[in-house]
Amino acid sequence: MAFIYSFTGRPTEHGHGKDIMLNLDRDVVIVGAGPSGLTAARELKKAGLTVAVLEARDRVGGRTWTDTIDGAMLEIGGQWVSPDQTVLMETLEELGLEMYSRYREGESIYIGADRKHTRYTGASFPVSESTAVEMDKLTAILDGLAAEIGAEEPWAHPKARELDTISFHHWLRQNSPDEEACNNIGLFIAGGMLTKPAHAFSALQAVLMAASAGSFSNLTDEDFILDKRVIGGMQQVSLRIAAELGDDVVLSSPVRTINWEEAAPGDETAGHRVSVESDRATVNARFVIMAVPPNLYSRVSFNPPLPRRQHQMHQHQSLGLVIKVHAVYETPFWRENGLSGTCFGAGSLVQEVYDNTNHGDARGTLVGFVSDEKADAMFELSEEDRKAAILDSIAEYLGDEAKNPSVFYLSDWGSEEWTRGAYAASYDLGGLSRYGKDQHTAVGPIYWSSSDLAAEGYQHVDGAVRMGKKTAARIIAANDRAAQPVA
């Protein structure tokens, strides 16, 4: 190998002030201090292994980020917790974090294909009887497929290839002649979850999304999928774990190079050697976890290069794009009008709106989402025109009062160098059935862990935590095997 190990036994530092370079020896180095990487580090440490977490940003939390903008606390990234996300809920409890329910009293607003504005209650959109029948039919088919195929290994199902080689857009139209039904059902997965146009991913990818949340019906039920929020914000999960880990987390330290050497045959793990170079540290270890979204794997130079299969697979996983819109008002004015703040319009610029008022806050906050091609169009406008277009769209649901928020902020994850999109990664057409079986395969000492690779909780913080735990368990098992005396 072309690099030198420095197993000094203790950390060494050289340089001055901000430029101090750390030289660390650990059992496991974790790239990325999002919820997945930090959970893995916490579990490994509990099992007695030493860790270092190297984070590119000057903060932990990754795609969870709770910040104060113009005096308002905003969840710039992930925030909601649903009842099936039990592993995240266990972590919240362990960390002493509490949850609260989203405001949901009153009527919701639906804007249909005819631009008609209707107030309604309950989980079903106020569509014509024939569209309702078609929506129920599509929901039943997707629920059936999600139950049959599951989230663990969708690529292994006999129907995988067939479903993975048709776009979700065309699959919907193969199953229903009703355009409004197709657009509404499409919204829950395309604009609503994968944040890509429905023609850009497969029906199998849509089934995975549904199965990962328990069923497709769960995705359509906002009382389920957007059930609870964390008091103080979702980033607290990462902040609290990082506080436990202390100096083992190194911020502002993007990993640039991973030098690795596979264990010799018969020496399953103890012989693995990894040297991870970041802007502030070099860590010598025996295992490395890439706890970053797959679209960023190629930001790191692997030496020797990754195998062909990984090179190919990683080019087929990409992040979607969504603008999360935050608008804070002096009061939650919609409530006085008997409205919950929940609004849907598959054909509207802002496709979904919810009451996102913070716990104990007298002001009212709305959150909305502008997804995929509509988001592209917004970024072609000036800042002023973009704001006006987005507020006009919210006002179409909730009235002109919506046009004058005291705080207005757009989460723009596409511009974030260390994420590059939102919410998470999905495969292009045919990618899931072709590559899925290898997405968890370790390459020598290199393991992969992020919400983008999760089964249950896929794309969500719960999936990130589940992946962190699973990956830590795999490494602990490999480490234990290596510690067994040779017979």
When the beta carbons of 291 and 378 are compared against ligand FAD, the nearer one is 291
Who contacts 60 (Cβ-Cβ below 8 Å, separation ≥6)? 33, 34, 38, 235, 238, 239, 241, 242, 249, 251
Q: Is 395 annotated for ligand binding?
A: no
Rounded least distance, CB 315 to ligand FAD, Å? 17
Residue 232: HSE in the Cβ half-sphere, 13 Å Cα cutoff: 11
Rounded least distance, CB 161 to ligand FAD, Å? 27
Q: Is 36 annotated for ligand binding?
A: yes
Positions that interact with ligand FAD (CB under 6 A): 31-37, 54-57, 62-64, 77-80, 254-255, 291-293, 296, 299-300, 324, 411, 413, 418-419, 422-424, 450-451, 459-462, 464
Which of these, 237, 186, 199, 213, lies nearest to 75 by C-alpha position? Answer: 237
Rounded least distance, CB 89 to ligand FAD, Å? 11
When the beta carbons of 286 and 460 are compared against ligand FAD, the nearer one is 460
350 and 394 Cβ atoms separated by less than 8 Å: yes
Q: Is 133 annotated for ligand binding?
A: no
Rounded least distance, CB 260 to ligand FAD, Å? 15
Give the number of other CB atoms < 10 A from CB of residue 421.
21
Which of these, 205, 208, 215, 137, lies nearest to 174 by C-alpha position? Answer: 137
Structure tokens at 57: 């940003």
Coil, strand or helix: which one is 250? strand
CB burial of residue 16 (10 Å; 0-12, 13-18, 19+): exposed
**What Å distances lie between residue 362 and 71, 95, 358, 459, CA to CA?**
13, 27, 9, 32
Q: Is 369 annotated for ligand binding?
A: yes
211 and 146 Cβ atoms separated by less than 8 Å: yes
Who contacts 103 (Cβ-Cβ below 8 Å, separation ≥6)? 332, 335, 340, 341, 355, 357
> What does the H/E/C string look like for 363-389?
CEEEEEEEEHHHHHHHCCCCHHHHHHH
Rounded least distance, CB 328 to ligand FAD, Å? 17
When the beta carbons of 82 and 167 are compared against ligand FAD, the nearer one is 82
Which residue is at the shortest CB distance from ligand FAD?
A: 34
Phi-psi region of 130 (alpha: psi -120 to 50; beta: other; left: phi over 0): alpha
Rounded least distance, CB 144 to ligand FAD, Å? 25
When the beta carbons of 101 and 404 are compared against ligand FAD, the nearer one is 101
**What Å distances lie between residue 244 and 42, 148, 238, 288, CA to CA?**
8, 41, 10, 20
Rounded least distance, CB 385 to ligand FAD, Å? 22
Nearest-angstrom CA–CA distance, 460 and 192:
13
Q: Is 300 annotated for ligand binding?
A: no
When the beta carbons of 131 and 235 are compared against ligand FAD, the nearer one is 235
When the beta carbons of 45 and 169 are compared against ligand FAD, the nearer one is 45
Which of these, 479, 299, 310, 445, lies nearest to 1 by C-alpha position? Answer: 445
When the beta carbons of 234 and 429 are compared against ligand FAD, the nearer one is 234
Nearest-angstrom CA–CA distance, 349 and 391:
10
When the beta carbons of 143 and 462 are compared against ligand FAD, the nearer one is 462
Rounded least distance, CB 301 to ligand FAD, Å? 10
Nearest-angstrom CA–CA distance, 72 and 327:
10
Torsion on CA atoms 356, 361, 363, 368, rounded to nearest 10: -10
When the beta carbons of 64 and 176 are compared against ligand FAD, the nearer one is 64
Rounded least distance, CB 372 to ligand FAD, Å? 13
Annotated binding-site members for substrate? 369
Annotated binding-site members for FAD? 36, 55-56, 255
Annotated binding-site members? 36, 55-56, 255, 369
